[in-house]
């Protein structure tokens, strides 16, 4: 017969005090171990990186480094990327090759540049944002901290949009976008969202495509960072192609889609791209041809030679899934066993992506992160998944399971659970004292 575990809310004050004493002793012993464990950023592990070792051998000095259209890739030319790479990227995100510009190594850099161009020069002959009195951006929360850092860098006002199981709250999105000309964009991670792992529903994508912005230069910044990052071969999310949806709704220029191979091959040495309408691409290229003569076509060629086609990417990503899936499952099982019965937190079990979002009792996240750090476990800063690093409930903690080895992650997770228990009890005791 399974024993019943009391939730902390069901315990008397005396029971909570006794439990706190045991946990405080556990925490003291943990600190004495001098641990140095990191779950702060979504980085591939060494095992994952080793899967891409063959990329370094995909081309050599004896090979004719020539594109399929006959261009010598060692020289200048093809500002928007080699045709083979455009085709590989378009297959990866589900758009058309002619909608793609292949850049250098970083999609974050592409997004930053796009905001900077909008600020300095405007989008498609519209007024540069720097000349406007107010510029606003919608930010689904919790979200990707580096997105928010970009808009904060340029002094753009950020507005929180709550996430639902279907994606951002589209009633609020429509309310802001369709009525306020100062709203110029929205950040989106539509597939296995950072950090919750939510996949935007078909209806959410359709409503995005059907927006009627008050601002003619409003753009959806569609960061499809985890397009191929499934955890399970048999349970893979499908995402509607936003570009096609916008065309059907008569809004072809509404979206800018970003992606890269940073978490497919080598972060910092992959290829990044933007996909957009003909009008948007023309506008972007008019600035790019002044900014650069061209990006690293040899690296683009190397990726094509290594993967050959999209089937090669899919097979590669299933090998990566075999490495990271046990890490996600270990956390989910531990939380279900230790945290759920105590009623002191909740989380989502994503089917892909790089993160697990943990929600503590309100008012506990910052203290949990601080105490974990004191015990040698580094987490993403509390508040990071919100604009201006302000979590209104102080409850959201982003966990990045991919980088540590499974044994290290297991040890870090046990520290995390012990700290969550201790901080939760202290908060509940404080509430009882205040009554």
Q: Chunk the chain into consecutive blocks of 10 residues (it has 435) and report each block's average pLDDT, rounded to whole numbers.
A: 72 94 96 92 95 95 89 94 98 97 96 98 98 98 98 98 98 98 98 98 98 98 98 96 97 98 94 98 97 95 97 98 98 96 96 97 98 97 97 97 96 97 96 83
Q: Do the beta carbons of residue 139 and residue 387 sit within 8 Å?
A: yes
Q: Give how far Cα 339 sits from Cα of 54, 59, 128, 162, Å.
A: 42, 50, 50, 25
Compute the distance between CA of residue 81 and CA of residue 143 in angstroms, rounded to an integer: 30
Local structure of 390: helix, strand or coil: coil
Per-residue DSSP letter, 354:
S
Q: Give how far Cα 40 sits from Cα of 69, 223, 237, 269, 329, Å.
A: 44, 21, 26, 21, 18
Compute the distance between CA of residue 334 and CA of residue 417 in angstroms, rounded to an integer: 8
Residues 6+ apart with CB under 8 A from 358: 335, 345, 346, 347, 396, 397, 398, 399, 420
Structure-derived torsion over alpha carbons of residues 69, 75, 81, 85, reported in degrees to the nearest 10: 60
What's the pTM value of the predicted model, to 2 decimals? Answer: 0.96
Q: Which tokens is 36 given?
A: 């140095």
Q: Which tokens is 90 given?
A: 């378009």
Per-residue DSSP letter, 61:
T
Q: Give how far Cα 342 sits from Cα of 9, 283, 330, 417, Å.
A: 8, 55, 18, 11
Domains, in order of start, for the chain: 8-49+314-434 (3.90.1150.10), 66-308 (3.40.640.10)
At residue 304, the pLDDT reads 97
Which helix (H) or strand (E) segment holds residue 37: the answer is strand 37-39
| Residue-wise DSSP of 127-187 | PPGGGSS--EEEEEES--HHHHHHHHHTT-EEEEEEEETTEE-HHHHHHHHTT-TTEEEEE
Q: Which tokens is 428 given?
A: 């509940």
At residue 4, the pLDDT reads 59
Residues 6+ apart with CB under 8 A from 177: 138, 183, 186, 211, 212, 213, 214, 218
At residue 147, the pLDDT reads 98
CB atoms within 10 A of CB 100: 26
Which helix (H) or strand (E) segment holds residue 417: the answer is helix 406-434
At residue 2, the pLDDT reads 43
Q: Radius of gyration of the chain from Cα atoms?
A: 24
Q: Which tokens is 417 given?
A: 């659970």
Q: Which of 10, 42, 23 is nearest to 368 (CA)?
A: 23
Which helix (H) or strand (E) segment holds residue 272: the answer is strand 272-275
Q: Which of 386, 431, 1, 434 is nearest to 196 (CA)?
A: 386
């Amino acid at each position: 017969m399974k024993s019943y575990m009391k939730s902390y809310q069901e315990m008397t004050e005396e029971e909570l005090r006794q439990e706190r004493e045991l946990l405080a002793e556990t925490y003291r012993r943990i600190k004495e171990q001098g641990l140095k464990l990191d779950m702060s950023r979504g980085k591939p592990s060494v095992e994952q990186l080793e899967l891409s070792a063959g990329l370094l051998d995909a081309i050599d000095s004896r090979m004719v480094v020539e594109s399929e259209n006959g261009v010598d890739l060692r020289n200048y030319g093809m500002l928007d990327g080699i045709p083979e790479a455009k085709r590989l990227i378009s297959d990866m995100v589900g758009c058309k090759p002619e909608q793609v510009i292949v850049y250098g190594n970083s999609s974050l850099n592409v997004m930053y540049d796009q905001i900077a161009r909008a600020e300095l020069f405007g989008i498609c002959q519209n007024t540069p944002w720097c000349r406007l009195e107010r510029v606003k951006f919608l930010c689904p929360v919790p979200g990707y901290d580096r997105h928010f850092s970009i808009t904060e860098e340029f002094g753009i006002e950020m507005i929180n949009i709550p996430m639902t199981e279907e994606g951002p709250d589209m009633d609020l999105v429509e309310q802001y976008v369709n009525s306020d000309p100062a709203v110029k964009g929205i950040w989106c991670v539509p597939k296995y969202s950072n950090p919750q792992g939510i996949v935007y529903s078909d209806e959410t994508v359709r409503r995005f495509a059907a927006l009627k912005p008050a601002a003619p230069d409003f753009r959806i910044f569609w960061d499809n960072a985890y397009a191929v990052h499934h955890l399970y071969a048999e349970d893979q999310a499908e995402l509607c192609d936003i570009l096609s949806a916008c065309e059907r709704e008569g809004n072809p220029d509404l979206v800018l889609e970003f992606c890269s191979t940073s978490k497919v091959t080598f972060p910092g040495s992959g290829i990044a791209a933007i996909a957009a309408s003909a009008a948007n691409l023309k506008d972007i290229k008019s600035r790019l041809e002044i900014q650069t003569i061209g990006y690293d076509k040899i690296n683009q060629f190397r990726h094509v030679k290594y993967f050959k086609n999209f089937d090669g990417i899919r097979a590669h990503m299933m090998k990566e899934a075999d490495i990271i899936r046990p890490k996600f499952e270990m956390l989910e099982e531990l939380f279900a066993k230790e945290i759920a019965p105590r009623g002191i937190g909740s989380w989502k079990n994503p089917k892909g992506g790089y993160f697990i979002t943990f929600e503590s009792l309100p008012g506990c996240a910052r203290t949990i992160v601080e105490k974990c750090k004191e015990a040698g476990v580094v987490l993403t800063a509390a508040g990071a998944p919100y604009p201006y690093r302000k979590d209104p409930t102080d409850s959201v903690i982003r966990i990045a399971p991919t980088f540590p080895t499974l044994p290290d992650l297991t040890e870090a997770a046990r520290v995390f659970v012990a700290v969550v228990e201790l901080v939760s009890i202290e908060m509940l005791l404080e509430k009882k004292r205040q009554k």
